Amino acid sequence: MAPDHITISAVLNACVEIGDLARGKQIHAQLTPNDIHSNEFLGTALINLYSKSGGGLDQAVAVFDDLRRDSTDIGGSVWGAIIKAHTKESQSEKALSLFDDMLAAGVKPDQMLLSTVLSACGDIGDFARAQQLHSLINENRVPINSFLATGLIAAYSKCGALDHAMGVFNDMYSSGSPELGISVWNAIIGAHTKYPGGSETALSLFDNMLTSGVPPNRVTFLAVLPACGNISARTCGKELHALLDRIGIRLDDFLAAALIDM
């Protein structure tokens, strides 16, 4: 039986999952340009294959350029895949440029892609661009889910705009947003820990998180333990160590290093 586009896309995604670039290339070689151009999922799967399985950004870009040259209607998943491929290789400026091209083509980004682009803004400290994206989100009434909130907080904090990061968090907290989950708490706690003079607030936020009934995870402890060390809060640090043991989080290298540093 001959595989259809859905079958081939699924198998290419399987190659990505196990990092089998050679098998993915074999499948790619059997496809005609018309196969790829007529199906958005195939183009997305090929870009992901090369960007995530060690094939290199150049090959992912080659697939995208072929699609862009021969098709007037590139879907959002293809744009998202190539933008994420560039952010993965720390080419944030190019990722933002591609995002502009996507908007100019009339393609609307989803929440996951907006979060990725916000990460690119944070990586290069582009505060103005982060604000523009935040405005775009509000103007288009895009619901701020946990991915977007985490992306906004991280972008603002990396740009040194902790007040803006806190504004995003406070909006969710005061409205009782159901999207205020552990990733958002971790983002705002970590932002304060890294900010000069923000460690006491980080510990206060951690207490509020526990009071709100949100259980900490491994990332939470990696975010809050340095805050104890920053202000020499030894008793608090020992309580965190005991809490780690009590809730059964395994002590890996990173957590052990955080405890030793604290």
pLDDT tens-place string over residues 82-97: 999 999 999 999 999 9
Q: What is the dihedral of CA 174, 141, 120, 88, to 10 degrees?
A: 110
Residue 150 has a pLDDT of 95
In degrees, to the nearest 5, what angle opens at C-alpha 129 toward C-alphas 159 and 48? 95
Calpha distance 49→173 (Å, rounded): 39
Q: Measuring CA to CA, which residue among 123, 80, 71 is closest to residue 98?
A: 80
Calpha distance 157→192 (Å, rounded): 8
CA 117 distance to own-chain centroid: 8
Residue carrying the six token digits 């505060």: 127
- Whether 159 shows a pLDDT value over 80: the answer reads yes
SS3 139: helix
pTM of the model: 0.85
Mean pLDDT of the chain: 91
